[in-house]
Amino acid sequence: MRKWILYFALLTSPFLLMVVVNQATKTKAYTVHVFGEKVSALNTDDSLPSQCTWDCHTNGCSHRDQNVISLGPIDTLRSMIIESLGVSNGDTYQTMNILVLVILWPLLMFGLVVANIELFRNRKKNA
């Protein structure tokens, strides 16, 4: 029983943490235009000199030199993932983005963590 509680916590905690961080950093309820439709967002549509906003997504990011964390192998990997999603239109991109990066990839990582924990427990039992 304790094992299943641990696995459930491992599966849900990243999503809960994401919601907590999003809500904690929310300063104002913004409305942005995504593929021609108005949707609510955590960030503004306007361009800001000091930070990335939705404008960076739409018109390209002018903060790229400051965002050193996104440069390098992670940036290349991210571009490869985005290109492999088949970005033919906005709906396809959104669906594939959610399916692969929000559901399938985390499930794969979760499965690998569970397999690793089970392997460790079985080794401990047999030792």
Q: Which residues bind Zn ion (CB under 5 A)?
A: 52, 56, 61, 63
Side-chain-side CA neighbours of 107 within 13 Å: the count stands at 7
Amino acid at 45: D
* Contact (CB, 8 A) for 42 and 54: no
Tell me whether residue 44 or residue 117 sits nearer to Zn ion (CB atom).
44
Tell me whether residue 56 or residue 100 sits nearer to Zn ion (CB atom).
56
User: CB 56 → Zn ion: shortest distance, Å?
Assistant: 3
* Contact (CB, 8 A) for 7 and 107: no
Q: Name the nearest CA neighbour of 34 among 82, 72, 90, 76.
A: 90
User: CB 8 → Zn ion: shortest distance, Å?
Assistant: 37
Tell me whether residue 34 or residue 52 sits nearer to Zn ion (CB atom).
52
Tell me whether residue 43 or residue 96 sits nearer to Zn ion (CB atom).
43
The β-bridge partners of 65 are: none
Residues 6+ apart with CB under 8 A from 11: 110
User: CB 106 → Zn ion: shortest distance, Å?
Assistant: 26
Nearest-angstrom CA–CA distance, 1 and 12: 17
User: CB 69 → Zn ion: shortest distance, Å?
Assistant: 12
